[in-house]
Amino acid sequence: MQDLLISTLIQGLIYALISFGVYITYSILDFPDLGVDGTFPLGAAITAVLLTKGVSPWLTLPLSMLAGTLTGLFTGFIHVRLKIRNLLAGIITMTALFSVNLQIAGSNLAVDRGTDTIFTSPAVMALFGNMTLMGRKLVVSLLLVVVIKVLLDLYFQTKSGLLLRAVGDNAGLVTTLAKDRGNVKILGLAISNALVALAGCVVCHDLRSYSATMGTGQLVYGLAAVIIGVSTFRFYEGSRLAQFCRSRKALRWLGAPAGTTAVVVGSVLYKLCIQIALSMGLPANMMKLITAMLFLLVLVLSGRKGEEIIHA
């Protein structure tokens, strides 16, 4: 049972990287980016090929993010410069990436057990070599998610980050500030897809494999995690505990957690729900159906039907 809970926590942390990306596009930019289902396997495909070529496992992270950034720039260019509707721009990118991923790594690619990953690299073994593989995965995943979360929180406090938020809330305000809102959208899409590709990269390190179909349903996962996290934290912020924390200067951050924190919690909770469903005897080949049904249940129970995740 303990190993199952730890495994679920690891998966929740890794897939929180996808949720970060979806949080930026849906909750901040109000942009339904369907390209996520193509960017995720893109990061995994690049990682699998690089690992089999003997490239340092840590180098695969920035390279995957670079590929995701280019994908986001492509989607943004189609939408902003070519005036294609956001939904169609995402569909075009997703469709194109399916062929691109096949060209990069084929339909499937496995990484040999003797090849180092970020969880078995010399640096990690030197620091956490006395831990089990599962323990190292938990520590590395947690550190990676915390670093990304902190960087995002710091970025959202900068002028560029505030402009990014303004585009989704009030695009006209950005124009009055003499800023090109189209460029701000493109930047947001680039950051979002970089994080999604990073998630695909880490999943490849975790599973030691890539599949061309592994991106199917990842957008649904990211949306569900965001909605669960945002809904849970809005309920918490109205509680007496949160009010007490906000009344104490040292605990104020506990009374009003950042949106990125909600995303991480939502990702872990959603993975836990899926694991519970599988533990009840539902077959693994019903995973996508389970995911879809859980997403529908989340929308109904939250009472939001999805619209209030915008500008969360």
Please write the tens of the pLDDT for every residue from 18-62: 999 999 998 888 888 999 999 999 999 999 999 999 999 999 999
DSSP tally for the chain: helices H, then strands E: 14, 2
Mean pLDDT of 158-173: 76
Tell me, what's the pLDDT at 312?
47
∠ CA 19-20-25, nearest 5°, is 90
Least confident of 72-76, 90-94, 218-222: 218-222
Nearest to 218 by CA among 206, 226, 209: 226
Amino acid (one-letter) located at 169: D
∠ CA 246-250-254, nearest 5°, is 50
Mean pLDDT of 291-308: 67
**Three-state secondary-structure class, residue 280:** coil
Tell me, what's the pLDDT at 310?
46
Nearest to 119 by CA among 135, 104, 103: 135
Mean pLDDT of 234-258: 72
pLDDT interval class at 168 (50, 70, 90): low
Q: What is the mean pLDDT of the chain?
A: 86
Alpha-carbon gap, residue 18 to 226, rounded angstroms: 10
The CA–CA distances, whole Å, from 281 to 110, 125, 275, 284, 286 equal 28, 36, 10, 9, 11
Mean pLDDT of 5-13: 91
Give me the percent of the chain exceeding a pLDDT of 70: 89
Q: Which two tokens stand for residue 39?
A: 């960017």
Tell me, what's the pLDDT at 171?
60
pLDDT interval class at 169 (50, 70, 90): low
Which tops the pLDDT comparison, 227 or 301?
227
